[in-house]
Amino acid sequence: MKLTSNQERRITNFLRDVYARTEGLSDAQRRRILAHVKMQLRERLQPYSDGPPEDTELEAIIDNCELPDFASSHTSPRAREINDVDALDPGASPRQAPPQQTPPQAARGDFLELEGRVWLGVCAGLARYVQIESAIVRIIAGIMFVATLGFFLWVYVGLYIFFYLRDRSGALPPLKARPIVWRVAGTLALGIVLFVAGEVLLWGMSTAVALVVGHEISLEAAWGWFAERNGTIAFWTLVLAVPLGAMSAMPVAEGWDYTLKKLAQACLAVYALLFTFGLACYFVGLLLEATGAATGIIAGG
């Protein structure tokens, strides 16, 4: 069967929760219960061998697994039906639970929405909080992104982290700090290296030509545009690339982790193209000015 990385994490967290709820039992009994639950999951995920299920379908499968509430001393009605833990044998055919609808809280945190999200569920969660359509919130977010020239991505990431830290539902996928830090650090490092390399090469070319000609050369904007705008280009590249890189390491909706990573890399690639073209323009401009100065000197002599 094929599952997304988020779905695999969801199943792993579910099995950990089952193991934690059976803390008072022996290790052998806990292993049998886990084996029984895994068998139910395998059987119910078998129809999805050609492609992963929807997140809501996976939640319904998990909710329909037979889980006796051992943590509460068999006080639930379903737990009282099971008098012998050893009867949960992995080889036995599991009893079919009646179909249940996924509870609304199963796919949402306190402030974030997992069902129907596009990226991290911030817009959908805000829409639920203020009780309006999520499309309206997304349109407003898109307008803010354009109006702030990309700065709103930082606000979006900040809102997600803020809501995640305040969440007490336990329904959100884990947020791992190390991959985010590495992705952000790598993006920043590449952007800063390009900026510094550009400044050093610009200085080196202008200094070399000045030594040959005997005086500093001032280029027109048509040739020296990169020298004037290198810092601005680097700044806006990092404004877009850093939050995109951070989101690519967060638990975004299916497929978006790869897409956001490529978008962050594309921002740096565009900067690298401008870097190369700008240096070429600057070098050609210096050569033309140096040639003109030398020609003027010869003609004057």
Domain boundaries, the chain: 5-102, 107-174, 177-300
Question: Cα separation of 276 and 282, whole Å?
Answer: 10
Locate tokens 């803010």: which residue? 144
CA nearest to 100, candidates 37, 145, 56:
56
Locate tokens 């803020």: which residue? 162
Beta-bridged to residue 108, according to DSSP, are 113
Burial of 259 (0-12, 13-18, 19+ CB in 10 A): middle
Half-sphere exposure of 38 (CA within 13 A, CB side): 15
| Close Cβ partners of 247 (under 8 Å, ≥ 6 residues apart) | 119, 120, 153, 156, 157, 256, 260
Contacts 24+ apart (CB under 8 A), 73-78: none
Q: Which pLDDT tens digits describe the chain residue by residue (301 residues)?
A: 577 878 888 888 888 888 777 777 777 777 778 777 888 788 788 777 777 888 787 888 888 877 654 443 333 333 333 334 334 444 444 444 444 444 444 456 778 877 778 888 888 888 888 888 888 989 999 999 999 888 999 999 999 998 888 887 777 788 888 989 999 999 999 999 999 999 999 989 888 887 877 777 777 767 888 888 999 999 999 999 999 999 988 888 877 888 898 999 999 999 999 999 999 988 888 888 777 755 654 434 4
- Predicted TM-score (pTM) of the model is 0.58
- Could you tell me the two tokens for 79? 């737990």
DSSP 82-96: ---GGG--TTSPPPP
Question: Cα separation of 40 and 278, whole Å?
Answer: 61
| CA atoms 233, 235, 238, 240: torsion sign | negative
- Could you tell me the two tokens for 178? 């190390």
